[in-house]
Structure 1
Amino acid sequence: SNVFNLKNKGTADENTSQEQIEAELQKPIWQETKAGKNNHIIFLTSNDISINGGLGLADDLATVKKALLGED
């Protein structure tokens, strides 16, 4: 059976429906909550980056960059 990885979200095979795969790909693959900063949560999905919260945006963007690029 052909099994493939869904961006670190588990596996699928030929019996997995397209709807199931798309639903999995919409789930956050990484998030961080920062206490004291309006509980910012950063979601990186297969096709989007969203940052919830207003304060400390520069810090959050730096965190996103580090997560994406592995840089300080």
Structure 2
Amino acid sequence: MGALSPWHIILIAIVALLLFGPNKLPELGRGFGKMFREFKDATNGNGNNSSADDQPTLARKEINPEVSNSESNK
């Protein structure tokens, strides 16, 4: 199998446009870009572990402050 020719890329772009529509494609592109960036950072060891771990606990504290207060009092 050879590499993708420009016609293959154009055909894939048309199919993606028909499936997702012009409004959803930029959002999908940002999602894939973020995914590849995070994968690259994780494989290079440049990942920031503290921000990924802190976000769920911050969200939980904002939703239910009694849970975080009872956990800190123990």
Length-normalised TM-score, structure 2: 0.28
The structure with the largest strand share of the pair is: 1
More helix by share: 2
Higher relative contact order (CA 8 A, sep 6+): 1
